[in-house]
Homo-oligomer: A and B are copies of this chain.
Amino acid sequence: MSVTAAKGFTAAGIAAGIKDGGKPDLALVVNTGPRRAAAGVFTSNRVKAAPVLWSQQVLADGELTAVVLNSGGANACTGPQGFQDTHATAEKVAEVLETGAGEVAVASTGLIGVTLPMDRLLPGIEKAAAELSGYGGEKAAIAIKTTDTVHKTAVAARDGWTVGGMAKGAGMLAPGLATMLVVLTTDADLDAAVLDRALRDATRVTFDRVDSDGCMSTNDTVLLLASGASGTAPEYADFAAAVREVCDDLGRQLIGDAEGASKDIKVEVINAATEEDAVEVGRSIARNNLLKCALHGEDPNWGRVLSAIGTTSAAFEPDALNVAINGVWVCKGGSIGDDRDLVDMRYREVRITADLAAGSATATIWTNDLTADYVHENSAYSS
């Protein structure tokens, strides 16, 4: 599974000593070819970590041989030293793999504003390279965890070719809670332009619609590497569907493991004038702290849904809005609808349906509730 599900990839995950306590903290993913096409999407935060700036640069030619990822430090807001450290990391990987640094993407996650312990990271790369194997995908997925309670992998196997991947984090591409790092691999025989299109089409409706806490990371990175090792070049639609399936699966796993969450919340916006309106409304609902607290308390507080919709610029008439929680239309025509006591909130998944009565566009945003555990986890993170 994971990044080694597709043919033409090896991976490893080891403990380099970046994190305290001997926990795995360094992952290496290598494309053994024959093809080395690649695409990436990155955080839209204007404050970008050194590894993001680096990886954007090396991806310009649509080729990657390897990705090195570390947890235990984001290497963000670390100035020229941080960029030098990222560069040195890529150089070291290039040296042990006998390739060029321009073929190596770097991703980091952890605390912002702290430089990486290069005296431990660089020897770690040699150790990881020595452990590379076609079965190393799971170890790699484990090594990139930060506050994740489980490692996250997914695979879409098709006739003759495969897309697989791993993810860490509890959030989204833009914006994101903590950092989201994703590496996807495929043995399909496709060029970088096709990978780029499929990756953007997929992230737009998956990771971009996962909104755990509205906070955007400096480090979010999603990479897709193709080895061509299957010798098969699938149709675009089939390939795009497989990439989307893996992204969707990983995105749901991210929300399911969001920091402190006790509810997975699916916000469906229907009958919007445009898809942009639907996304804006869905995001506004998904980011409303008061609503997220209410859902944590299993309180079907639809007034907070309406109040969130009212802050958007989407097309709607306030007295035409309908809202259902877990299928019960508790708000009809902008006013009191069916009995809120009919709403069963005992299960982890909560479904909010917002009907804008303004058209036929829809969008779904996934989020989670706001809990005391989230506060505890994030108030003690760096101490």
Task: Report which of B80, B81, B218, B334 forms a contact with A307, defined as CB distance below 8 A.
Answer: B218
Report A265 CB to chain B, min CB distance, Å: 14
Contacts of A45 in B (CB 8 A): 307, 310-311
- The reply to whether A301 and B77 form a contact with Cβ atoms under 8 Å apart is no
Q: Does A237 contact B (CB under 8 A)?
A: no
Residue of B nearest to A112 (CB): B303
Task: Report which of B306, B375, B376 forms a contact with A218, defined as CB distance below 8 A.
Answer: B306
Task: Report which of B77, B213, B294, B312 forms a contact with A336, defined as CB distance below 8 A.
Answer: B77
Contacts of A371 in B (CB 8 A): 375
A114 to B330, CA, bound (A): 12
Contacts of A336 in B (CB 8 A): 77-79, 113-115
A296 to B377, CA, bound (A): 11
- The reply to whether B297 and A379 form a contact with Cβ atoms under 8 Å apart is yes
List A258-299 residues whose CB lies under 8 Å from chain B: 287-290, 293-294, 296-297, 299
Residue of B nearest to A316 (CB): B46
Most chain B beta carbons < 10 A, residue from A178, A299, A374, A378? A378
Q: How many copies does the complex hold?
A: 2
Contacts of A379 in B (CB 8 A): 293-294, 296-297, 299
Contacts of A318 in B (CB 8 A): 46-48
- The reply to whether A302 and B215 form a contact with Cβ atoms under 8 Å apart is no
- The reply to whether B307 and A215 form a contact with Cβ atoms under 8 Å apart is yes
A215 to B115, CA, bound (A): 36
Assuming the A-B contacts A77-B336, A290-B215, A333-B79, are A306 and B374 also in contact, with contact meaning beta carbons closer than 8 angstroms in the complex?
no
- The reply to whether A294 and B378 form a contact with Cβ atoms under 8 Å apart is yes
Report A109 CB to chain B, min CB distance, Å: 12
Report A381 CB to chain B, min CB distance, Å: 7
A288 to B112, CA, bound (A): 15
By Cβ-Cβ distance, the 3 closest A-B pairs, closest first, are A112-B303, A297-B379, A79-B335
By a beta-carbon cutoff of 8 Å, the part of chain A in contact with chain B is 44-48, 74, 76-82, 111-115, 175, 177-178, 213-218, 287-290, 293-294, 296-297, 299, 301-304, 306-312, 316, 318-319, 321, 330-331, 333-336, 370-372, 374-383
A sample of 7 cross-chain residue pairs with beta-carbon separation below 8 angstroms, ordered by A number, consists of A45-B310, A46-B310, A47-B334, A77-B334, A77-B335, A113-B331, A297-B379
